[in-house]
């Protein structure tokens, strides 16, 4: 047995061991006590050192409404295209899109809404302050309200910062739109081409000859939400789009003419806004090329498809507003006396194209074709050119709009009307504010939010089906979605001018 081998009796052996231990402790008591005291002191000092607790990161969740898989979507063939306000070249009589999985070579950068807000807050640093920043200039981005390049974002764009967006949405009735904007931007990002452009012909569009328009509008949708090449969850998407647009302009730098002047104007707006939000010098140079082309085209009244030899309120509206963006970006072409004279001459022409007694806008010449779309185009131009809200034309056109909201089927129903009219109607009524804006906003939100596709952005989730009208027919789902997104960004995209 083990006990017997160690001394015969296990108990006696155990006692002898304990006795030895006691003798050892007696002989070494002093050294033992000193050691114990030293260890205790070290442990006490360690306990006094503060330990930084691991910060628990806030949990963020991207809320995207999930629905049961939709049945295969059938898109009706588009035939017998009637070119009205925006004539374009057509080569194919039908386009079909099938809802299926898409192999995305340019994956979307996923970031939660909370993280997006934190990133957009960087814009607040750019926004700057000014003693008279609440006094809007007569022209967007010009005057006392614009602190200049070193003072932050120009007047008209400051609401795109985090605090600006939150305050503007609360003030102007934007509740319930944030998730819809996020989902639509994700759809656009998922369907960007590998080279950075957006191709409308892949999604029910027919604007085959020109990708500058669709790419510019898609970029404006991201920029309108305050997302740029440097800020937000879509940096790579915006960066690739701006790079493609820069390349397109450089290939035609001596005459950057695209899409019957419509596309050039949209491209100028996108490059100018990208410059405002800190894009490269290259972007500013190319924006200036387009701006200079428009200045060189002008012949005293307005613009049309090729130059300034004819009059067209629609295309001229895009051009003059793109020049406003160029002015806000402080492009060299807009700092000349020639540019200043153009704005003054153009104001006089706009008056002739908008009937103050009837509140109607004319398309090609005074007293010619009129429509609600041209009334809204005229309203928005007058507003951004500095006309006050009590301007006779703005008052009468607003009265007409209240009737059109109820009778013309633009918004408020289970289907959307012509997106060109909805886009300009949204811009005009927002700037006008008052009763007309409240009436428009309620019905606009109802129609837009209820017609947005739900589900996976890699499929159709976040987009809108093309509606009637030449813009939707030619621009397809890409331009339709981009323009509606700009409508939902109306609360903070531009500040009130008057």
Can you tell me the distance from the alpha carbon of 143 to that of 122, in angstroms, rounded to the nearest whole number? 25
Domains of the chain by residue range = 2-42, 113-493
Please write down the long-range contacts of 350-353, taking CB distance under 8 Å and 24 or more positions apart.
Answer: 350/313, 350/378, 350/381, 350/382, 350/385, 353/302, 353/311, 353/313, 353/378
Q: Please state the rounded mean pLDDT for residues 160-187.
A: 94
Q: 371: which strand partners? A: 361
pLDDT value at residue 206: 87
Of residues 62 and 264, which shows the higher confidence score? 264
Q: What is the pLDDT of residue 39?
A: 54
The answer to whether the beta carbons of residues 418 and 471 sit under 8 Å apart is yes
3 state DSSP class of 371: strand
CA 204 from centroid of its chain's CA atoms: 23
φ, ψ of residue 362 in degrees (nearest 5): -110, 145
More confident residue, 102 or 428: 428
By C-alpha distance, which of 333, 322, 330 is closest to 380? 322
Which residue has tokens 């951004």?
A: 384
pLDDT the model gives residue 31: 56
Other CB atoms within 10 A of residue 71 CB: 7
DSSP string, 270-297: HHHHHHHTT--HHHHHHHHHHHHHHHHH
Fold of 113-493: Glycosyltransferase (1.50.10)
Instruction: Say which residue, 241 or 88, is predicted with more confidence.
Output: 241
Lowest mean pLDDT among 107-116, 214-223, 265-274: 107-116
Give the pLDDT band of residue 284 (cuts 50, 70, 90): very high
Alpha-carbon distance 393 to 428, whole Å?
12
- Cα angle, residue 322 at apex, residues 320 and 304 outer, rounded to 5°: 50
What's the confidence (pLDDT) of residue 498?
82
Average pLDDT estimate for 233-261: 97
- At 23 the pLDDT is 47
Residue pLDDT, tens place only, 181-232: 999 999 999 999 999 999 999 999 987 568 999 999 999 999 999 999 999 9
Question: In 3-state terms, what secondary structure has residue 355?
Answer: strand
For the ranges 48-62, 316-330, 354-368, the lowest mean pLDDT is seen at: 48-62
| CA distances (Å), origin 28, targets 24, 37, 211 | 6, 15, 91
Helix, strand counts (H, E) of the chain: 19, 3
Q: What is the predicted pLDDT for the residue at 38? A: 56
Residue 130 predicted with pLDDT over 50: no
Q: Tell me what the pLDDT averaged over the chain comes to.
A: 78
> What is the mean pLDDT of the segment spanning 292-297?
98
pLDDT of residue 484: 98
pLDDT tens digit sequence for 209-223: 689 999 999 999 999
Question: What's the pTM value of the predicted model, to 2 decimals?
Answer: 0.73
**pLDDT at position 188:** 98
């Amino acid at each position: 047995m083990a006990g017997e081998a160690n001394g015969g009796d296990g108990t006696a052996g155990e006692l002898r061991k304990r006795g030895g231990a006691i003798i050892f402790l007696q002989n070494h008591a002093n050294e033992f006590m000193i050691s114990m005291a030293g260890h205790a002191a070290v442990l006490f000092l360690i306990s006094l050192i503060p330990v930084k607790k691991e910060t628990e990161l806030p949990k963020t969740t991207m809320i995207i409404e999930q629905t049961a898989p939709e049945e295969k979507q059938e898109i009706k063939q588009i035939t017998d295209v009637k070119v009205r306000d925006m004539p374009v070249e057509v080569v194919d009589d039908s386009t079909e899109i099938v809802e299926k999985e898409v192999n995305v070579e340019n994956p979307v950068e996923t970031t939660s809404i909370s993280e997006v807000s934190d990133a957009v807050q960087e814009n607040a640093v750019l926004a700057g302050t000014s003693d008279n920043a609440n006094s809007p200039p007569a022209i967007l981005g010009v005057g006392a309200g614009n602190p200049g390049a070193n003072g932050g974002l120009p007047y008209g764009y400051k609401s795109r910062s985090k605090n600006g967006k939150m305050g503007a949405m609360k003030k102007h009735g934007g509740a319930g739109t944030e998730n819809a904007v996020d989902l639509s931007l994700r759809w656009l990002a998922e369907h960007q081409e590998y080279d950075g452009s957006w191709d409308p012909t892949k999604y029910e569009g027919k604007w085959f000859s020109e990708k500058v328009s669709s790419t510019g509008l898609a970029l404006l949708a991201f920029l309108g939400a305050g997302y740029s090449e440097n800020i937000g969850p879509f940096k790579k998407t915006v960066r690739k789009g701006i790079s493609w647009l820069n390349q397109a302009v450089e290939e035609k730098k001596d005459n950057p003419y695209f899409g019957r002047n419509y596309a050039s104007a949209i491209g100028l707006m996108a490059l100018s806004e990208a410059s405002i939000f800190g894009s490269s010098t290259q972007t500013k140079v190319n924006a200036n090329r387009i701006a200079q082309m428009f200045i060189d085209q002008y012949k005293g009244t307005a613009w049309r498809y090729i130059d300034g030899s004819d009059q067209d309120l629609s295309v001229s509206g895009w051009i003059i507003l793109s020049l406003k963006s160029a002015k806000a970006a402080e492009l060299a072409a807009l700092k000349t006396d020639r540019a200043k004279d153009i704005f003054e001459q153009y104001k006089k022409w706009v008056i002739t194209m908008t009937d103050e007694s009837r509140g109607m806008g004319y398309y090609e010449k005074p007293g010619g074709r009129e429509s609600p779309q041209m009334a809204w185009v005229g309203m928005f131009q007058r507003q951004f050119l500095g006309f006050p809200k009590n301007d006779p034309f703005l008052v009468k056109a607003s009265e007409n709009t209240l009737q059109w909201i109820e009778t013309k089927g633009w918004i408020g129903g289970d289907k959307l009307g012509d997106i060109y009219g909805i886009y300009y109607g949204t811009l005009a009524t927002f700037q006008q504010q008052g009763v007309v804006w409240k009436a428009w906003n309620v019905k606009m939100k109802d129609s837009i939010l209820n017609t947005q596709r739900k589900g996976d952005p890699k499929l159709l989730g976040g987009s809108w089906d093309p509606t009637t009208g030449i813009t939707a027919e030619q621009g397809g789902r890409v331009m339709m979605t981009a323009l509606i997104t700009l409508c939902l960004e109306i609360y903070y995209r531009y500040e009130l001018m008057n």
